[in-house]
Amino acid sequence: MATEPLERARQEFLAALTEAGSDPARVEAVRVRFAGRRSGLLRELEDALKTLPREDRPGYGKALNELKKLIEERLTAAQRAAEDAGTKRQVLDVTLPGRRPVTGALHPVTLVRREIEEIFLRMGYSVADGPEVEDDWHNFGALNMPPDHPARDSQDTFFLKDGLLLRTHTSPVQIHSMETMPLPIRIIIPGRVYRRDSDLRHSPMFHQVEGLVVGEGITFGNLKATLEAFVRVLFDPRLAVRFRPSFFPFTEPSAEVDITCVLCLGAGCGMCSGSGWIEILGAGMVDPRVLSACKLDPSCVSGFAFGCGLDRVALLKYRLPDLRLLFSGDERLLRQFEGVAR
């Protein structure tokens, strides 16, 4: 009869499945042998249907479908039984050593921030903080930036409702401190700041650290000595430091501070564009109008202020090629700093 091969296949399948028992590997071998898509026995029996006489095909097809259903049901049951048996065989050995949890690493900006804080704490400074959402007076007005100042442009500043904005620098904390703290003041202010800027060297959110010293008899010489000591401890004691005249609305006189290139030590390289110098800080003596805005008498007290970008410092200190790496969230970057604790 035409259906005899189907009956033989059924008997062979049941015998093979019984022999496989609850061994997952042997059950899988039975599945491949009988129900494999490319070379299984069912595939061969399906191909045989095409060669049968027309009058034998209906009976053969019906028996073939019944065999398929039987094989599918029995295989499913056998696979579940094999999984259950494997689960029962698993034994918990409490004497085995535990798996150590995966630990993270501090971000390069965090490392730099903590190192800078540590340097200035040793110099007698304290760490100040303030709100990231500011009003116009503390972010611009008290810092000697009139209403028509370019820094107020909406293309540079994230303005909010009710006259508020996201601070564009950490300088507003200087104003808060001069308004509320007793003299003398000696603080650094690390924190996040925001500007509408995004390219290879800029991010709309970045990190700054500023310093402020206010008291009687504070001079530019005090500023120069402080910053020279700071950058040499932070980077390399061999570095030279130079001050170039500059302009900032809130300091007078003002200066840009350069250091010897940390990579080539002044020989000239791609990082410093062959000049041997890298700009690192902006600084100057607190403008008398800023002191007056904070109800301090410029004839009695003076002060200096300075600031730098923590992200830029991290780029220089750790030889990173692109500022955007610091904001990428790439774990490969962070893994490089495992074990570097501050």
Contact 268, 304 (CB under 8 A): no
Q: How far is it, in rounded angstroms, from Cα 183 to Cα 185?
A: 5
pLDDT digits (tens, 9 = 90+) for 109-165: 999 999 999 999 999 999 999 999 999 999 998 998 888 777 667 567 888 988 899
Per residue in 34-92, pLDDT tens?
777 777 777 777 777 778 888 877 887 888 788 888 888 888 888 888 777 666 555 67
**Is residue 61 packed enough to be buried (19+ CB in 10 Å), middle (13-18) or exposed (0-12)?**
middle
C-alpha atoms less than 13 angstroms from C-alpha of 189 in its C-beta half-sphere? 25
Crossing angle of helices 41-49 and 24-35, in 10° steps, is 10
Look at residue 339 in the predicted model and tell me its pLDDT.
63
Mean pLDDT of 11-25: 83
Confidence of residue 192 (pLDDT cuts 50, 70, 90): very high
Helices 41-49, 57-89: axis angle to 10 degrees equals: 170
Prediction pTM value: 0.67
Domain ranges of the chain: 4-89, 108-335
Which residue would you say has higher pLDDT here, 118 or 203?
A: 118
Q: Are strands 205-215 and 185-194 parallel, antiparallel or unpaired?
A: antiparallel
If one looks up domain 108-335 in CATH, what number appears?
3.30.930.10
The pLDDT of residue 261 is 87
Average pLDDT score over residue span 214-233? 94
